[in-house]
Amino acid sequence: NAGVTQTPKFRVLKTGQSMTLLCAQDMNHEYMYWYRQDPGMGLRLIHYSVGEGTTAKGEVPDGYNVSRLKKQNFLLGLESAAPSQTSVYFCASTDGPLPQHFGDGTRLSIL
């Protein structure tokens, strides 16, 4: 039972490049979330989904897009990467009620 799997684990981008981060969960959870974690800080919610085909904005959505075409997958896209998006990105899922189950993160550096 893999739980929540994030790919890739590490990536270095140049400013202006685009990329997609993939989150996959095998627990049949309805709710999925994307967070970013900056040094010495807690997690901030970027976007989330309450079910297949739905997405909603979180606290810091600017510069990111998401899609939930399949229940088990939640994709986070950066259309034109900026240095301010250098961070560690975490995906989480839950079937409600809480708690949330987290992946191990994607470490993204933008030069």
Partner 1 sequence: SQQGEEDPQALSIQEGENATMNCSYKTSINNLQWYRQNSGRGLVHLILIRSNEREKHSGRLRVTLDTSKKSSSLLITASRAADTASYFCATDFKAAGNKLTFGGGTRVLVKP
Query: What are φ and ψ of residue 38, in 5° steps?
Result: -105, 155
Half-sphere exposure of 108 (CA within 13 A, CB side): 32
43 binds partner 1 (CB under 8 A): yes
Candidates 44, 52, 72, 77: give the one binding partner 1 (CB under 8 A). 44
Residue 103 found at the interface with partner 1 (CB under 8 A)? yes
Is 48 among the residues that bind partner 1 (CB under 8 A)? yes
Number of residues that bind partner 1 (CB under 8 A): 28
Pairing outcome for strands 106-110 and 101-102: unpaired
CA distance 93 to 97: 11
What residues line the site for partner 1 (CB under 8 A)? 4, 31, 33, 35, 40-45, 48, 50, 56, 58-59, 90, 92, 94, 96-105
